[in-house]
Amino acid sequence: MNATIIEAVNDALHKEMENDDKTVVFGQDVAESGGVFRATEGLLAEFGSDRVLDAPLSEIAIAGAAVGLATHGYRPVAEIQFSGFLPPAFDQLVTNASRIRWRTRGELTAPMVVRTPYGAGVRALEHHSESLEGAYGHIPGLKLAIPSTPHDAKGMLISAIRDPDPVLFMEPKHVYRSLREDVPEETYTEPLGKAAVRREGTDVTVVSWGSMMHNTIEAVDNLENVDAEIIDLRTISPFDRETVLESVRKTGRCVVVHEAAKTGGFGGEVIAAINDDALMYLEAPINRVTGFDIPVPLLSMEDFYIPHPPRIEEAIEETMSH
Amino acid sequence: MNATIIEAVNDALHKEMENDDKTVVFGQDVAESGGVFRATEGLLAEFGSDRVLDAPLSEIAIAGAAVGLATHGYRPVAEIQFSGFLPPAFDQLVTNASRIRWRTRGELTAPMVVRTPYGAGVRALEHHSESLEGAYGHIPGLKLAIPSTPHDAKGMLISAIRDPDPVLFMEPKHVYRSLREDVPEETYTEPLGKAAVRREGTDVTVVSWGSMMHNTIEAVDNLENVDAEIIDLRTISPFDRETVLESVRKTGRCVVVHEAAKTGGFGGEVIAAINDDALMYLEAPINRVTGFDIPVPLLSMEDFYIPHPPRIEEAIEETMSH
Amino acid sequence: MDNSPQSISFTPGDVGVDPISQGDVDIETYSVVDPDGSFDSERVPDLSDDEFRDLYRWMLVQRVYDDRATKLQRRGQLGTIASGRGQEASIVGSGSALSLDDWIFPYGREAAALLMHGLPLRDLLMYWRGIEDASRMRNANIVPMSISVGAHVPFATGKAWGMQLGDEDTVTFTNLGDGATSTGAFHEGMNLAGVLGVPAVFFCLNNQYAISLSFDEQTNAETVAQKALAYGIDSIRVDGNDVLAVYNAVSTARERALEGNPVLVEAVTYRRGAHTTSDDPTRYRSDEEVEKWKDRDPLERYRSFLEETGRWDAVDEAAIREEFGTEFEEAVEAADEFEERDVEEIFEYLYKEMPPELERQLAGLEDFLEERPDVYDHIERRPKG
Amino acid sequence: MDNSPQSISFTPGDVGVDPISQGDVDIETYSVVDPDGSFDSERVPDLSDDEFRDLYRWMLVQRVYDDRATKLQRRGQLGTIASGRGQEASIVGSGSALSLDDWIFPYGREAAALLMHGLPLRDLLMYWRGIEDASRMRNANIVPMSISVGAHVPFATGKAWGMQLGDEDTVTFTNLGDGATSTGAFHEGMNLAGVLGVPAVFFCLNNQYAISLSFDEQTNAETVAQKALAYGIDSIRVDGNDVLAVYNAVSTARERALEGNPVLVEAVTYRRGAHTTSDDPTRYRSDEEVEKWKDRDPLERYRSFLEETGRWDAVDEAAIREEFGTEFEEAVEAADEFEERDVEEIFEYLYKEMPPELERQLAGLEDFLEERPDVYDHIERRPKG
Ligand SMILES: Cc1ncc(C[n+]2csc(CCOP(=O)(O)OP(=O)(O)O)c2C)c(N)n1
Ligand SMILES: Cc1ncc(C[n+]2csc(CCOP(=O)(O)OP(=O)(O)O)c2C)c(N)n1
Ligand SMILES: [Mg+2]
Ligand SMILES: [Mg+2]
């Protein structure tokens, strides 16, 4: 099938609900309405109101109840309507979801997924556009995946649902519908914790994830003289150091691109990992192209916030000039 | 006066409540009880129940009401009893405190302080010992200070209370009472956003903050052959890049020490900053000595989690060996 | 001693345990004018004829505003917006009961209340165009809209606490939806308000939906009003489509709040339109339901009151529409002319003093915009939404 | 049209707005045995003599446990602990009403309830020694203690939801303090429980304090029970020092919960001791107050019931103490002998499969511990607290 990311997410949910009747989908407006982005469209009709439920306006309860369901043998897939409304649930992720297995020495486990659309660029209202993967990626015990393509969205979401541990699944809403690709009809998984080399190259490694992948690819396409290797990190936690390191050892140069604010963002960790184990291969400082250290502006100026291809191009060129 | 950190904090609160009658202290058990660590001891008696209040078991309300009070011309100093109970308030920090000035173009401001004791090593119960400065330091608009000495605790807390912007003030509870130094009786301020060079040296720069400063100093003391420069970062946000960069440009080597989990911790940002602007000075990869990527263990094993001086020594030696 | 399971198996039997349940609480919905137009004359507030007519005018303003703003949105001149259609009586009845010194914590649908509190219409439009400058809430004691549902409740409690400490003669007035009552922030903020006895009125516009979720799925509580009991604070349940009832309820609540008794007011109303311009309500509710509530149209109901009391003749509906229409157009023009903007704007005001790294980022962006004007190909500056 | 302030100044007058307040709700406190020992024979549950005596035995076990654990703590053999002194009737009355298949979500003071649910005493002691292994809650349907106050409420709701989906004949039973009722997690978890109609009993041990904060400063609500009204769920307020009353209340609540009606039970009791071993209650409450509550001692009260009903003679208090004393000592010994531990333990079980970076960190630490045994100078392995 030819699918957008949102369709791929929807298909993954259908497939896993079919595959495992312990899978339960809930969140605000996911049932009759099919989700504000239609990610859960059709699930209610197919699987019924026991397994597809609207939740009250209660992010704490959504995350907390997911832990409870998961410890009881279910596979909850909860939706937080926008990533800007995940902060109320932060405590449930830190205090319950991420460590119930650890606390109980494996007696109770939380195989749950919290899906949330993240990022700017869709002209949403205040607080709707945040990218806080840097903060969530710092919670031991919580996996954090961010697909960038329809193929990965489906395969990684299926992996996340089957994962024995809690997974925060941040979906790049800016490209929810703006790109399509062939996606296998059948069920398949893409592994969590494994980056993908989107393009091989020898001059410079460009690492990105989520919606910034597409700006990155566009930037690289525009740079005719640079043979860039593009890595889609795909999972923030656990972070696939090896794929990044291997590439940087080959290219000697690296640019990291993310939409979140720069300071304290996950780009720092990528750089630190390279510093740890590939410093001597570096021919230039690693460049970061990121959002600025400000909240995402309201819609009229939000585009200025986003790392657009020219910013990425410039950073790659600058890196190449060393 | 000769004071511990907790006494210095208490003194700073006394001084600022005297200095500005808009200063209001509240939090769980801060009034009659004087705070579970006695940080607010004596305030109720001196300043009365209008200005020193016990709050209900409501971290969201504590942080949220602080924003309200602050926008109304007060200087709230809220206490969150342990840093492990700050996550419920995460949303109020992200959504209200950090951006009210920005949203209203300066019409409403939140000159507030949220104090919280952080870190392991005091044999506290589960969830009491976390260090999540990496996550909180990634919130644009929120300042984040972590003193390591009695002198700084007093001066920085006074600065934080007077600061026109919201400050999260994380106090190293492990060394609340275990060290004393001379602290001026009178009111003084230590600037936020400025690191302190604790010791000058030429061989290697060791960057740390909070309670890990003391393990760092001990480690450096133990290494007779290494002339280390020790930097106490003191403020995570805004982060004083310049002081770190200047030192690394001189020494060519760097070790970062923090108690928080490694992956996604603020050490990554320190390394990234050095990569940005001092990479060519580096003679060795920057080493990180940190907590592990796990929750802080319960009390019987928590000591294994903490970066003790020997771990820091080894890292410094390893860095020197390049 | 045996540590093995010791639970006693219960043999039911009537041991006289009689749980408290919501059925035990009697909650009336206060009203003045019934849907059929009849009214309780003892409850009619003591207002001048002009004031009575003004309530109608403002409700009409709200309605016209919603219509016009929706059209602007469709033409791409505003971002996503949330309409107050159906809730006019709640919005206007409450807004009129406030003093200009009170602080409103808005939630998004209460245009008329904000306008009557002093906010320029231009700014309201600019906010929905996504222009930060509008959140200054120029000229009015209004905190920016709480787009994050419920997050403003503890904030409002804190500000009311400040009023209490300063012995001010004002309240915070927080608008919130039925959905907001399910948030932890609501709970903690309300409870603290009760503990401190702050001058705060929490005004819940129970419009029966939170996007697609109907009120009876939002909570098992039959009313929002009863939620106040959890905090030991008083509440008033009022017919939210009855502007006089809302006015009386909020006025009373405000007086009590000033005496140190925060109050929760539940205005029972209905969201007649979509949740926002991006929502399609036919997916989750029936036409019949929507029709049913049309009967209780706040403007029509109040109109019959004005007619009955001989005050209608002096209302020139067409003139109000036209007058406000002109005002709206002028506001759009003024918004269109909003000053030349600069990227500095999005960096400013985050801190009182911009930290060096942020300065660096700003300078970098400014240089970059000059060097690489092609970046504008990717940037849609949307002064018009 | 003028957009300037339009608020109407309210002229008070009696317009018939009559707020609902907590005084309107009648909340009785259910009891069976009065403080003076007299009892309502109609309410005495239908238990065997042994079962009646067992309730006493378990209360005594709780008391002895608290005493001995406190002593152990003072000797440095346990970490900070929280005692159940004064709350024995609430703990035992509730614990006895559960089926072993129910899941308990404990909050920290309910030793006897956990023991009767099957948790080995050794493990309870090991938990307070800070040994993760104890949080397995071996042999018992118990979730680890919610040290983060209130955070377990939505968790329990979710687990009860699982029971509902699976049509199981069990409930989740959540213990929480009065302080916990002020958390957002409590609110959201309770509300969701009401919406879903899950088989959950929320048991609030209202011991009048949250550390130093008295209940009347925790909330302006006069009771915890009335908080259930906010969620449209039923509640029972019970004398928490009356073991039979608690037993009846929780049994009833449990039955209702099984029928899809979650219930909040408020047990009115008193924390006789310090908050924990690190607290000094003389800073914030008077001796008189503590004395006052001694009159209502749960054990004494129940003892008079047993005496009155001719069941006391067969209770051998000294034997129970001795028996449990021995058991306690054996448990301490067993805890002392807890297997040789390895640092791997703190890395294990975070994920089903350890990610490479964590493996690396573990290997690094293991190597390091071998290379630099001097690090043990800084590490206090505290197998004994
Ligand atoms: C904390 C949070 N969660 C989710 C959302 C997404 N959202 C926006 S409005 C809304 C429903 C609000 O319902 P209600 O409070 O009843 O107000 P109404 O829109 O009906 O007036 C939701 C879920 C949000 N803005 N904030
Ligand atoms: C979320 C959270 N905030 C603060 C604390 C610190 N703390 C531990 S126990 C306690 C009081 C709990 O009171 P209550 O719920 O009444 O239970 P009790 O101890 O009285 O039995 C507090 C404030 C905590 N553990 N968790
Ligand atoms: Mg609503
Ligand atoms: Mg208590």
D261/D208 same-domain check: yes
A166/A220 same-domain check: no
Residue labelled with tokens 């004002």: C170
Q: For every residue of chain D, which 3-state class applies, written as one string?
A: CCCCCCCCCCCCCCCCCCCECHHHCCCCCECCECCCCCECHHHCCCCCHHHHHHHHHHHHHHHHHHHHHHHHHHCCCCCCCCCCCCCHHHHHHHHHCCCCCCEEECCCCCHHHHHHCCCCHHHHHHHHCCCHHHHHCCCCCECCCCCCCCCHHHHHHHHHHHHHHCCCCCCEEEEEECHHHHCHHHHHHHHHHHHHCCCEEEEEEECCEECCEEHHHHCCCCCCHHHHHHHCCEEEEEECCCHHHHHHHHHHHHHHHHCCCCEEEEEECCCCCCCCCCCCHHHCCCHHHHHHHHCCCHHHHHHHHHHHCCCCCCCCHHHHHHHHHHHHHHHHHHHHCCCCCCCHHHHCCCCCCCCHHHHHHHHHHHHHHHHCHHHHHHCCCCCCC
Catalytic pick from C53, C117, C122, C271?
C271
C61/C207 same-domain check: yes
Does residue A190 sit within a domain? no
Is B49 an interface residue toward D (CB < 8 Å)?
no
Domain closes at, from B182, B207, B242: B182
pLDDT the model gives residue D302:
98
Residue A30: which of A12, A44, A11 has the closest Cα?
A44
Cα separation, C125 vs C131, in Å, equals 9
Using DSSP, state whether A199 is helix, strand or coil.
Answer: strand
A38/A152 same-domain check: yes
**Residues of chain A numbered 263-292 and touching chain D (CB < 8 Å):** none
* Kind and range of the H or E run holding B300: none
Maximal C-alpha separation, chain D:
89
Atom 13 of ligand 2: nearest residue by CA position: D210
Number of domains in chain D: 2
Cα separation, D57 vs D95, in Å, equals 13
Q: For every residue of B183-219, which 3-state class applies, written as one string?
A: CCCCCCCCCCCCCEEEECCCCEEEEECCCHHHHHHHH
E strands of chain C, at which residues?
103-105, 172-177, 200-206, 209-210, 213-214, 234-239, 263-268
Residue of A62, A105, A142 to mutate when probing chain D, most D C-beta within 10 A = A105
D287/D228 same-domain check: yes
Which residues of A are less than 8 Å from B286 in CB distance?
272, 275
Does residue B281 sit within a domain? yes
A177/A216 same-domain check: no
Q: What is the pLDDT of residues D288-309, one digit of tens each?
A: 999 999 888 999 999 999 999 9
Residue labelled with tokens 């938990």: D127
Is A272 an interface residue toward B (CB < 8 Å)?
yes
For residue B314, which phi and psi values (nearest 5 degrees)?
-60, -40
- How far CA A140 is from CA of A83, A94, A137, A239, B302, in Å, comes to 19, 8, 8, 12, 16
C330/C272 same-domain check: yes
pLDDT the model gives residue B116:
98
Which residues of A are less than 8 Å from C349 in CB distance?
none
R_g (Cα) of chain D, nearest Å = 24
**Distance between Cα D205 and ligand 4 center (Å):** 7
Q: Averaged over B121-137, what is the pLDDT?
A: 94
Does residue C84 sit within a domain? yes
D227/D348 same-domain check: no
B225/B121 same-domain check: no
Name, in order, each residue with C-beta under 8 angstroms of D363's C-beta and a sequence gap of 6 or more: none
- How far CA D384 is from CA of A153, D77, D128, in Å, comes to 49, 5, 9
C263/C283 same-domain check: yes
Does residue B118 sit within a domain? yes
For chain A, list residues with pLDDT below 50.
Answer: none
**Distance between Cα D277 and ligand 2 center (Å):** 14
B32/B145 same-domain check: yes
Q: Closest chain C residue to A87 measured between Cα atoms?
A: C148
Does residue D13 sit within a domain? no
Cα separation, A151 vs C238, in Å, equals 52
Residue of D155, D342, D350, D361 to mutate when probing chain A, most A C-beta within 10 A = D155
Query: Chains contacting A with at least 3 CB pairs below 8 Å?
Result: B, C, D
Cα separation, C327 vs C321, in Å, equals 10
A293/A221 same-domain check: yes
pLDDT at B199 > cutoff 90: yes
pLDDT at B151 > cutoff 80: yes
B11/B114 same-domain check: yes
Does residue C288 sit within a domain? yes
pLDDT the model gives residue C340:
78
Q: Closest chain D residue to A166 measured between Cα atoms?
A: D351
Is A318 an interface residue toward B (CB < 8 Å)?
no
C273/C373 same-domain check: no
Number of domains in chain A: 2
Residue labelled with tokens 């809220």: B78
A110/A33 same-domain check: yes
Model confidence at D2, pLDDT cuts 50, 70, 90, reads: very low
C225/C366 same-domain check: no
Q: What is the DSSP letter of B93?
A: I
Does residue B187 sit within a domain? no
pLDDT the model gives residue C2:
44
Does residue B188 sit within a domain? no
A190 CA to chain C: closest CA distance, Å? 31
Q: Can you give the CATH number for the domain in which B59 is found? A: 3.40.50.970
**Closest ligand to C175 CA?**
1
Lining residues, ligand 1, CB within 6 Å: A 28, 57, 59, 81, 85; C 109, 147-149, 177-180, 205, 207, 209-211, 271, 275
Cα separation, B243 vs B209, in Å, equals 14
**Atom nearest to D151 CA in ligand 2:** 1
Does residue B232 sit within a domain? yes
User: At residue A92, what is the residue type?
Assistant: Q
D207 lines ligand 2 (CB under 6 A): yes
Name, in order, each residue with C-beta under 8 angstroms of D41's C-beta and a sequence gap of 6 or more: none
Atom 8 of ligand 1: nearest residue by CA position: C149
C269/C356 same-domain check: no
Domain closes at, from B127, B156, B182: B182
Work out the number of other CB atoms within 10 angstroms of the CB of residue C97: 28
Q: Do C213 and A292 touch (CB under 8 A)?
A: no
A223/A164 same-domain check: no
R_g (Cα) of chain C, nearest Å = 24
Measured in residues, chain D has a length of 385
Which residues of D are less than 8 Å from C42 in CB distance?
14-16
Listed range (A23-37, B273-287, C172-186, D370-384) with the worst mean pLDDT: D370-384
Q: Can you give the CATH number for the domain in which B313 is found? A: 3.40.50.920
A319 CA to chain D: closest CA distance, Å? 28
Cα separation, C19 vs D256, in Å, equals 10
Domain closes at, from A182, A204, A230: A182
Which residues of B are less than 8 Å from A263 in CB distance?
137-138, 140, 237, 239, 269
Q: What is the ipTM of this complex?
A: 0.98
- Note if A174 is an active site residue: no
C325/C186 same-domain check: yes
Q: Do A140 and B295 touch (CB under 8 A)?
A: yes
Cα separation, C321 vs C281, in Å, equals 28
Cα separation, D24 vs D275, in Å, equals 34
Q: What is the mean pLDDT of chain B?
A: 97
Which residues of D are less than 8 Å from A76 in CB distance?
158
pLDDT the model gives residue C14:
83
Q: Do B68 and C136 touch (CB under 8 A)?
A: no
Does residue B189 sit within a domain? no
Q: Do A90 and B95 touch (CB under 8 A)?
A: no
D178 lines ligand 2 (CB under 6 A): yes
Q: Do B123 and D79 touch (CB under 8 A)?
A: yes
A159/A212 same-domain check: no
Residue labelled with tokens 């991420």: A98
D192/D225 same-domain check: yes
**Residues of chain A numbered 71-110 and touching chain C (CB < 8 Å):** 84-85, 88
**Distance between Cα B28 and ligand 2 center (Å):** 9
Does residue C252 sit within a domain? yes
In chain A, % helix, strand, coil (3-state, to 5) comes to: 40, 20, 40
Q: Which two tokens mark C89?
A: 């009586």
Domain with A252 in it: 196-321
Work out the number of other CB atoms within 10 angstroms of the CB of residue A275: 24
Cα separation, D225 vs C47, in Å, equals 42
pLDDT the model gives residue B132:
97
pLDDT the model gives residue C8:
65
Cα separation, C93 vs B109, in Å, equals 30
| CA B262 distance to own-chain centroid | 17
Q: Which two tokens mark C187?
A: 């709970």
B162/B203 same-domain check: no
Domain with C143 in it: 25-336
Q: Which of A54, A84, A310 sits opposite C213 (nearest CB)?
A: A54
Using DSSP, state whether A183 is helix, strand or coil.
Answer: coil
pLDDT the model gives residue D4:
42
Q: Which of A95, A277, A294 sits opposite B127 (nearest CB)?
A: A95
B27 CA to chain C: closest CA distance, Å? 12
pLDDT the model gives residue D5:
43
User: At residue B321, what is the residue type?
Assistant: S
Q: Which two tokens mark B76?
A: 């709230």
Residue C197: which of C150, C251, C247, C234 has the closest Cα?
C234
pLDDT tens for chain C, 385 residues long, are 444 445 566 554 689 999 999 999 999 999 999 998 999 999 999 999 999 999 999 999 999 999 999 999 999 999 999 999 999 999 999 999 999 999 999 999 999 999 999 999 999 999 999 999 999 999 999 999 999 999 999 999 999 999 999 999 999 999 999 999 999 999 999 999 999 999 999 999 999 999 999 999 999 999 999 999 999 999 999 999 999 999 999 999 999 999 999 999 999 999 999 999 999 999 999 999 999 998 889 999 999 999 999 999 999 999 999 999 999 999 999 999 998 789 999 999 999 999 999 999 999 999 999 999 999 999 986 555 4
Cα separation, A184 vs A165, in Å, equals 26
Does residue D65 sit within a domain? yes
D250/D370 same-domain check: no
B113/B221 same-domain check: no
Atom 17 of ligand 1: nearest residue by CA position: C177
By the 10 Å C-beta count (0-12 exposed, 13-18 middle, 19+ buried), D267 is classed as buried
pLDDT the model gives residue C295:
81
| CA D120 distance to own-chain centroid | 17
Q: What is the mean pLDDT of chain D?
A: 94
| CA B88 distance to own-chain centroid | 19
- What does A135-179 look like in DSSP terms, one character per residue? HHTTSTT-EEE---SHHHHHHHHHHHHH-SS-EEEEEEGGGTTT-
Which residues of B are less than 8 Å from D181 in CB distance?
57
Model confidence at D1, pLDDT cuts 50, 70, 90, reads: very low
Cα separation, D275 vs B179, in Å, equals 28
Using DSSP, state whether C198 is helix, strand or coil.
Answer: coil
Tell me the pairing of strands B235-237 and B143-145: antiparallel
**Distance between Cα C211 and ligand 1 center (Å):** 7
Q: Do A264 and B137 touch (CB under 8 A)?
A: yes
Does residue C64 sit within a domain? yes
pLDDT the model gives residue D382:
58
Q: Do B140 and A98 touch (CB under 8 A)?
A: no
